[in-house]
Structure 1
Amino acid sequence: MSLDGHLPQWVRNSRFQRKESDRYVIAVELNEIWSSSPFWMRCSGNVTIDVGGLTLFTQPFEHTLQYTVTGCPEGRYGLNCDKACVCKNGARCHGFNGACECRPGWRGRACDIPWPEVVIEETPGDSFVKYIGTDVTLTCVAPHIRVANMTWANQAGKRHVDTKVIEEGAVQNSSISFQPTLESDNGRYSCMVEAEDGRLFNASFVLNVMECRPNYHGEICDQVCDCQNGGTCDRWEGCLCPPTPGIFGRNCSEMCNCENDAMCLRVKGSCLCTKELSGKSCQNFYPCPPGFHGDKCEHDCAPGSFGLNCSRDCSCQKNASCDPVNGSCICAEGQSGEFCQDVPDKNDVVVVVLASVIPTIAVIACIVSGVLEGRPRRPERPTVDSIKETLSSWEVEREDIRFEHMIGEGEFGHVVRGRLRVPAGYEVLVAAKSVRSDRMTASAVRDFRREMTILVRIHEDKEGHPNVVKLFGVVTKSEPQYILVEYASNEDMRRYLWSLREQYKITGNSKLLDRLGFSADVASGLLELARLKIVHRDIAARNVVISDRMVAKIADFGLSRDVYVSSAYARTNQGGEEELLPLKWMAVESLRDGVYTCESDVWSYGVLLWEIASFGEEPRYAGGPMHPDVCTMLELLRKGVRLQQPENCPMSVYKIIRSCWIVDPSKRPTADELFQRFDQMTPQRRAARLT
Structure 2
Amino acid sequence: MSFSLQQIIRGMCWLLSDRQYGDICDKICSPNCKNVCSKINGFCDSGCIFGKFGADCLRSCGAGCLSGCHQNDGSCQCKTGWQGQNCDGCDLNHYGHDCSTKCSANCKRRTCNIDTGSCTYGCERGFYLEKCEQACSPTCPSACKRQSGECEGKCPVGKYGSYCNKTCSRTCNDGCSKIDGLCTSGCIDGKFGAACLQTCSDGCISGCHQFDGSCTCKTGWQGLHCDECTPNNYGEKCYQKCSSNCLNGTCLRNNGSCIGGCKGNFTGDTCTLGKIKRIFVTG
Give yes or no for TM over 0.5.
no
- Tell me which structure has the larger Cα radius of gyration: 2
Higher helix share: 1
Higher strand share: 1
